[in-house]
Structure 1
Amino acid sequence: MASPIPPRKPSLAKDSLTGSSYLDDHLEYKARQTGPSPSIDGVLEQPARVPRNAMSNLSLSSASRRSISAIPPSPIISQESGTVHTISHTNCIPEPGDPARLVATIFYNSSTPRHPHLHPDQSPPAKPTDFIPAPEIAEGSAPTTSIQEYPLEPPAPEPEPLDHLYGAYISQLCLTHFLSTLDSLLIHNEPEERRLTSSHRCLAPDPFKPRVMEVTFTPPPKPQYLPFDLIPKHESIYKFEREWNCEIILQPNTVYRRHKRLCVFDMDSTLIQQEVIDEIAAFVGVKKEVAAITERAMNGELDFAASLKARVSLLKGVPADVFERLKPKIVITPGAKELCKCLKRLGFTLAVLSGGFQPLADWLAGELGLDHAFANHLVSNEKTNTLTGELDPAYPIVDSAHKQALLISLAKEKKIPLAQTMAVGDGANDIPMLKTAGLGVAWKAKSKVQMEAPARLNIGESMLDLVYLLGLTKEEIDQLLSG
C-alpha cells in the first residue's frame, strides 16, 4: 500500500510557478530600478551552476541605483521542519539620497455622500430609471460653495461625482486615481526621481469600505516646482477631492508626525459650537449688531483687537453672572471630549487659546481635562455687579499674535519642539498659530482660514477624526477610549 503524500510545507522562498517569493510580492515599497541590472536572482535562476567567483563580475552601476537591500537573499532551510524562510530589507535600509516620504490622510465625506442609494449599480432596490440629482459642490469639499464669497476666481464647472458610481467610501478606484494624480505632479522631477512608490493603510472603520485611509508615498514633487505647503492646494488635488467627495491632509512622514506632545485649540466654533460673545449680547438685545462684527472679524475683515473692544463696549450693563447662566447653553463640539481623552492618554499637554472670555475658558478646561486656559478678561462693577463694557488692561488681549506667542512659550516651557505641536482653530485670528505648529488644522473654518492654513478638515464625523492624523487606527482609538 502506497504511503500517503505528505502535505506541502509552507514556503516563503522562490516558488517554481511564480518565480518570486511571497515577501517580494507583498513588499510595501518596491526598490526603484531605472534600467536593467543583473542581480543574484538572475544568477540563482540559471539552470547551470555558476562558479562562486562569477559573482565578482556582476555590475551594480550608479545608474541602476539598486541597493543590496533590494536583492533577496538565498533562502534558509530549517533542518527540522523543512520550512523555507527568506527576508528582504528594502524598507529597512533606504538608499543614500532617497527623497523624503510624505503621508496623505484621506477622509471620505460619509456624513453626506452624494446621491446615496440611488445608483442601480450601488443599490439593489434602485432602478435604472430612478432620478439622479444634478451634481453639486459637496459641502466641505471647497472653502465655500457660494460664488459670491469664493476668495479666488469662480471654480470650474464641477466634475461628475464619482463616489456614487464606485462606492460611498474610499474605493480601490479612488485610491488608484489618487496615486495617478500624485504621479502627474512628478513631471518636473529629475528622471531618476519620477517613479512613484507607495503603500496604504485603512484606518477606519471598515477594511473593505474604509472611510479614512493613510497613503505613504515617495518621492514628493520637486520643491522648486511645487513646495510641500502648496501640494494640498494644487488644482489637481482639489479636483480629486471634489470628484471623490473627500479631503486630503498631507504631512511629512517623520517621527514627529506620530509622536506629538502639545495640542492647542481655539474655543468658540471649535471646541464649542457657539460664539460666546454673541450669546452674551443676546442678553441685552444687541446680538445682531455684535454677531455682524464677530463674523467680519473671524473672516479677517477687521482688526481683531479693535473689533473685540467694539463688541465688548456693547455689553455694558450685562449682569456679571452671565457666564454662569450661559454654561447650560454651551454645546461642546461632538467628539471634543473623546479627542481630548485620547490625547491625554497619549501624554499630550492640552491648552485652549481663546479670543473669548476667561470664565468660560476655565469652565471648558475643566470639562475637557485641559491643562491650560488663556482668554480675555472683562471688567465688572462690584457695586452694581454688572459688566463695565471694558477689557481688563492687566491682561493682554488674546489676538492672533498672542495665540502664536502662547503656543511658542508653552512648547518652550515644556521643552517640546514645535514640530511636535498641533493647533486647531477656525477663525482668522488662528492663522498664525496654525502656521507655527507642526500640524495646523482649520476645523470647519472660515474661507480665508481654509485657504491659508496648512491643513483643513470639514467632513470629519466628529473632532475625534483628528486623531487619525497621528496614524492611529480605529481599533487603537477604541483602546484609548476604553476604561
Structure 2
Amino acid sequence: MASPPPPRSRNLSLAKETLAGSSYLDDHLEYKSHQSGPSTSIDGILDQPDRSLRNTLSSTSLVSRRSISAISPSPIMTQDSGTVYTISHTNCVREPGDAARLVATIYYNSASPRHPHIHPDQSPPVRPTDPYPMPEIAEGSAPTTSFSEYPLEPPAPEPEPLDHLYGAYISQLCLTHFLATLDSLLIHNKSEERRLITSHRCLAPDPVKPRVVEVTFSPPPNPEYLPSSLISKHESIYKFEREWNCEIVLQPSTVYRRHKRLCVFDMDSTLIQQEVIDEIAAFIGVKEAVAAITERAMNGELDFAASLKERVALLKGVPSHVFEHLKPKLVITPGARELCKCLKRLGFTLAVLSGGFQPLAEWLAGQLGLDHAFANHLVVDPETETLTGELDPAHPIVDSQHKRNLLISLAAGRDIPLAQTMAVGDGANDIPMLQTAGLGVAWRAKSKVQMEAPARLNIGESMLDLIYLLGLTKEEVDELLKD
C-alpha cells in the first residue's frame, strides 16, 4: 500500500493553488488591458452584427482580460535538501527596450475623511424657501478655494466621495479604480503599448489599512497625447483624487528617485509656519500693510525683489535685536525635524534658501541640522543699532532666480546630478528651483505654485510624509529616527 505523501508535498501543493488563484483585481474587471481586434466586453459583443459572436467567450479570451496580477506565478522549486524557493517572474524585470516605468505615490487624507453632501431638501432644519447653498471648493482639492481666483471656469460639482463607503484609507477598490484610470489614459498608445503592467506596495502605516501606497506602472501614456509631466494634472486623475480623498505624486522610476543626495527648502511657510517679515512688521505695528504685500508677492502678482525692498523700507528704525525677540515665536512645521533627521542619516546635504533674513535662516539651520543657510542681509546702523530699511548690496537678493542658481551651484559643488536633488517650497519665488530639481514639491503651496510645480502635497499629516516619495516604508523611517 502506497504511503501518503509527506507534509511538505501537501504544503507545496497548497502554496501552488493559493498563488495561482484569482486575486481581488481579477474579480473586478474594471481593470483590464486594451485588446486588439474584436472587443470581448459586453458592449463589444452586443455591437457585433453576427449574434453567433456572443458565444465566442472562450477561456482564452477570459484569461486575456485578467489583470497583470493574474499572470501565473513563477515556479516553486524544491531542492533535494528540502529547501523551497521561487524564481522571480520575468515581468518583474524590464527587458531591453521596454517602455519607461513611472511611480505614483498615493496619499490618503486620513486627517480629514470626507462625507457625502446632503441635499437641502433632505435636511430637516432646511425650509423649502431657503436658498440653495453656494458650491464650495474643498480645501486641498484644488490650487485655490476661492471661485473668483479659480482659473478659466469653476470646477465641476464635487463627485460622490467613496472613501466613507469603502474605507477611510487606500482600499483595494480605490486601488482598482486607480489602475482602471491609468488604463484609460493608454487609449492613444500604439496597440502593442496598451497592456498596462503594474505592481504596488503599502508604505504606511500597515498593509491592512494603508495611508500611503506606491504604484509602479508601465507603459506611460503616449507623450504626444499626455506628457508624463502632465499626467497628475489630467482631469481623470483629478477626479479620482476627489472621489477617494487622496493625492498623487508621479515620478520616473529610476535609481535617482530612490537615491537623492541634496535637498533644499524654502523657509517661510515651509520649514516654519510664519512669514518672518510679517512677524517683524507685527512687532512694530505695521503688519497689515506688510502682510498684504507679502501675500501678493507669494502669489506671483508682484516682482519679488521690488516688493521685498518696499517691505524692508517699512522696517527702518527697528532695533537690530528684533531677531532675538522673534526666535522663540517661530513655529517649526510639524515633521520638519524628523524629515531632516532622516535625510541626514541617508547622507543628504541640506540647505535652506530663504527670501527672509539671514539671522533667522542661520538659527533655523542650527535647529534642524542643515548644512547651509542662504537668505537676505539687512543693513544695521552701528551707532543706533537699528535697521536702516535697506538691503545689504554686498549680498545678492535671494529671489526666484538666485534660489535656482544656488540649487545648481550646491549640486555642482558636490558633483551631484540635478536628478539626485530635491526642492520643497510654497511661494511663487520657489517655482524655478522646484522646476529645476529632480523632484520639486509644492508643500501646501499658493495656487500659482501648485499649478506650475512638478508635484504638490497638501494632505500630508506632517512634513515627514515627503520621505515616502523616496520609496521608504514606515518601518524604515522609524529605524532612521531611532536614537
Give the TM-score category using the shorter length: 0.7 to 0.9
What is the match of residue 415 of structure 2?
415
- The residue identity in structure 1 corresponding to 2:224 is Q
What is the match of residue 371 of structure 1?
371
Calculate the aligned-residue CA RMSD, in Å: 3.0
Q: Does 1:342 align with 2:348?
A: no
CA contact (8 A) 1:312 1:389 kept: yes
Note the alpha carbon deviations across 1:357-415, whole angstroms, 9 max, x for none: 00000000000000000000000111111000000000000000000000000000010
CA contact (8 A) 2:19 2:73 kept: no
CA contact (8 A) 2:20 2:73 kept: no
Given the superposition, is the C-alpha separation of residues 425 and 93 from structure 1 closer, same or farther in structure 2, using an over 3 Å criterion? closer
Given the superposition, is the C-alpha separation of residues 201 and 292 from structure 1 closer, same or farther in structure 2, using an over 3 Å criterion? same
Given the superposition, is the C-alpha separation of residues 275 and 77 from structure 1 closer, same or farther in structure 2, using an over 3 Å criterion? closer
Given the superposition, is the C-alpha separation of residues 10 and 84 from structure 1 closer, same or farther in structure 2, using an over 3 Å criterion? farther
What is the match of residue 303 of structure 2?
303
State the alpha-carbon separation in 2 of the partners of residues 436 and 306 from structure 1: 24
Given the superposition, is the C-alpha separation of residues 94 and 367 from structure 1 closer, same or farther in structure 2, using an over 3 Å criterion? same
* TM-score, length-scaled by structure 1: 0.83
What is the match of residue 59 of structure 1?
none
State the alpha-carbon separation in 2 of the partners of residues 212 and 153 from structure 1: 32
- Structure 1 counterpart SS, 2:432: helix
State the alpha-carbon separation in 2 of the partners of residues 354 and 74 from structure 1: 56
- Structure 1 counterpart SS, 2:273: coil
Note the alpha carbon deviations across 1:236-269, whole angstroms, 9 max, x for none: 1111111111100000010000000000000000
Shift of 1:309: 0.1
Given the superposition, is the C-alpha separation of residues 174 and 89 from structure 1 closer, same or farther in structure 2, using an over 3 Å criterion? closer
What is the match of residue 65 of structure 1?
none
Note the alpha carbon deviations across 1:150-203, whole angstroms, 9 max, x for none: 133210111111111111111111111111110110000000100111111111
What is the match of residue 396 of structure 1?
396
1:341-360 residue pairs with structure 2 within 5 A? 341-360=341-360
CA contact (8 A) 2:260 2:422 kept: yes
- Structure 2 counterpart SS, 1:223: coil
What is the match of residue 78 of structure 1?
79
- Structure 2 counterpart SS, 1:9: helix
- Structure 2 counterpart SS, 1:332: coil
State the alpha-carbon separation in 2 of the partners of residues 224 and 262 from structure 1: 32
- The residue identity in structure 2 corresponding to 1:481 is L
State the alpha-carbon separation in 2 of the partners of residues 236 and 19 from structure 1: 38
Q: How many pairs does the alignment contain? A: 431
State the alpha-carbon separation in 2 of the partners of residues 229 and 350 from structure 1: 26
What is the match of residue 250 of structure 1?
250
What is the match of residue 478 of structure 2?
478
Note the alpha carbon deviations across 1:186-233, whole angstroms, 9 max, x for none: 000000100111111111112111111101111100111100111111
What is the match of residue 266 of structure 2?
266
Given the superposition, is the C-alpha separation of residues 158 and 93 from structure 1 closer, same or farther in structure 2, using an over 3 Å criterion? closer
- Structure 1 counterpart SS, 2:460: coil
- The residue identity in structure 2 corresponding to 1:160 is E
State the alpha-carbon separation in 2 of the partners of residues 207 and 297 from structure 1: 43
State the alpha-carbon separation in 1 of the partners of residues 86 and 432 from structure 2: 51
What is the match of residue 386 of structure 1?
386
- The residue identity in structure 2 corresponding to 1:244 is W
State the alpha-carbon separation in 2 of the partners of residues 33 and 169 from structure 1: 29
- Structure 2 counterpart SS, 1:149: coil
What is the match of residue 44 of structure 1?
none
Given the superposition, is the C-alpha separation of residues 240 and 313 from structure 1 closer, same or farther in structure 2, using an over 3 Å criterion? same
CA contact (8 A) 2:354 2:375 kept: yes
What is the match of residue 279 of structure 1?
279
Given the superposition, is the C-alpha separation of residues 89 and 307 from structure 1 closer, same or farther in structure 2, using an over 3 Å criterion? same
1:434-473 residue pairs with structure 2 within 5 A? 434-473=434-473
Given the superposition, is the C-alpha separation of residues 71 and 214 from structure 1 closer, same or farther in structure 2, using an over 3 Å criterion? closer
Given the superposition, is the C-alpha separation of residues 218 and 130 from structure 1 closer, same or farther in structure 2, using an over 3 Å criterion? farther
CA contact (8 A) 2:16 2:76 kept: no
What is the match of residue 231 of structure 1?
231
CA contact (8 A) 2:20 2:72 kept: no
Shift of 1:91: 4.1
Given the superposition, is the C-alpha separation of residues 420 and 74 from structure 1 closer, same or farther in structure 2, using an over 3 Å criterion? closer
Q: Does 1:113 align with 2:121?
A: no
Shift of 1:94: 2.6
State the alpha-carbon separation in 1 of the partners of residues 73 and 287 from structure 2: 70
Given the superposition, is the C-alpha separation of residues 6 and 464 from structure 1 closer, same or farther in structure 2, using an over 3 Å criterion? same
- The residue identity in structure 1 corresponding to 2:265 is F
Shift of 1:140: 0.9
Identity value in percent = 77
- Structure 2 counterpart SS, 1:147: coil
State the alpha-carbon separation in 1 of the partners of residues 110 and 412 from structure 2: 39
State the alpha-carbon separation in 2 of the partners of residues 316 and 291 from structure 1: 17
- Structure 1 counterpart SS, 2:213: strand
CA contact (8 A) 1:262 1:348 kept: yes
What is the match of residue 158 of structure 2?
158
Q: Does 1:170 align with 2:194?
A: no
CA contact (8 A) 1:100 1:219 kept: yes
- The residue identity in structure 1 corresponding to 2:178 is F
State the alpha-carbon separation in 2 of the partners of residues 368 and 101 from structure 1: 35
